[in-house]
């Protein structure tokens, strides 16, 4: 799963920058949710890194950037937290490569390339 956010609304900070709402928390079924073993976080922003949702997956491995790993480590999650690499990696049945997101997020966010 990539950048999960399972709340019906999201207000970052005091809401002057980001406010989002959705009718359904997720399109995934309970069965699909129960099969999640790995979560990829692509950016340290709340609409990507939603701590409340991550707490619903205490057994899942979390894959992320070094910056996101520092944030998650301070939050005392019990998950295994692994850094994404610029080399090709296998995560579940996917082969992916993390790439810098580019301006203006070059140092904080990642893009993903996947291979079959």
The number of distinct structural domains making up the chain is: 1
| 4 is a domain residue | no
| 1 is a domain residue | no
| 68 is a domain residue | yes
Residue positions counted in the chain: 116
Q: What is the mean pLDDT of residues 51-63?
A: 93
| 23 is a domain residue | yes
- pLDDT of 71 reads 93
Band (pLDDT 50/70/90 cuts) for residue 18 is low
- pLDDT of 64 reads 94
Element (H, E) at 85: none
Residue 26: CA count within 13 A, CB half-sphere: 14
- pTM here is 0.83
76 vs 33: CA distance, rounded Å:
22
Instruction: Kindly tell me if the per-residue pLDDT of 20 is higher than 70.
Output: no
Residue where the block lists tokens 């799963």: 1
The 10s digit of each residue's pLDDT in 6-17 is: 876 666 666 555
Name the residue among 56, 59, 46 with its Cα closest to residue 26. 56
- Domain interval for residue 22: 9-115
| 62 is a domain residue | yes
């Amino acid at each position: 799963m990539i950048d999960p956010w399972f709340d019906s609304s999201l207000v970052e900070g005091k809401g002057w920058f980001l406010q989002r709402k959705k009718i359904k928390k997720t399109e995934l079924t309970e069965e699909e949710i129960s099969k999640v073993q790995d979560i990829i976080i692509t950016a340290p922003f709340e609409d990507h890194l939603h701590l409340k949702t991550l707490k619903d997956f205490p057994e899942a491995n979390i894959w992320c950037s070094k910056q996101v790993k520092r944030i998650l480590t301070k939050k005392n999650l019990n998950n295994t937290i692994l850094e994404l690499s610029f080399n090709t990696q296998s995560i579940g049945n996917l082969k992916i490569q993390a790439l810098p997101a580019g301006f203006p997020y070059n140092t904080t966010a990642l893009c993903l390339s996947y291979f079959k």
